[in-house]
Amino acid sequence: MANLRKAMLQENIFTPKGEKLVHVLLTQLSEENEDYCLCLTVTKDEEVQITFLKILPSGIKEKYMIQEVWLLEDLTMVDGRDATADNPFLDLHFQTVCSLEASSTAAKYAFVRSLRKMNKIYLQKDIQFLNFDSDFIQEMSFFGLPEDTMMVIQLCVQAFNCFCLLHSL
């Protein structure tokens, strides 16, 4: 479903504007119970934008309404709220703070890795990333493996180490 949504967003929202969709995060505002998408795009002028779209249920086909568009260069801080807990909450600090709830903690970390990567490629700006487990927001793609696969491998190794430690006691 995520790939289908990304393809539909690219075709219907971003291609007409000459933008390339890099990442989509399904989210909710912390105070509401409606679905939104946070989209990371690159314009034809190589500006990185974060577009906040509201998902409007409309029968079989979803419709989207642009709520807000920010430039990555205006982002000063990303706060994961608590690095020690499994939580999907995220605060994006522009001139105002946008508080979101991602569909999962893994989705939140994948989005943050995409933000960091786009910043590294296009801006090299000093954006603060607070309250994240640094092991999971670092680039992990060695040997040509996708970052999510590397994260699963890393979690498995950590679980295996815990298992071995428990059996050695």
**Does the predicted TM-score (pTM) go above 0.75?**
yes
Domain locations along the chain: 2-138, 139-169
How many other C-beta atoms are found inside a 10 Å radius of the C-beta of residue 136? 21
Residue 30 — pLDDT band, cuts 50, 70, 90?
A: low
Residue 117 — pLDDT band, cuts 50, 70, 90?
A: very high
pLDDT at 24 exceeding the cut of 50: yes
Find the helix or strand (DSSP H, E) in which 3 lies. helix 2-9
Mean pLDDT on 65-74:
96
Give 2-138's CATH code, choosing from 3.40.50.1000, 2.30.29.90, 3.90.1150.10, 1.10.10.10: 2.30.29.90
Residue 44 — pLDDT band, cuts 50, 70, 90?
A: very high
The pLDDT tens digits for 124-143 are 999 999 999 887 777 655 44
pLDDT at 148 exceeding the cut of 90: no
Can you give the pLDDT at residue 138? 74
**Burial zone of 9 (CB within 10 Å; 0-12 exposed, 13-18 middle, 19+ buried):** buried
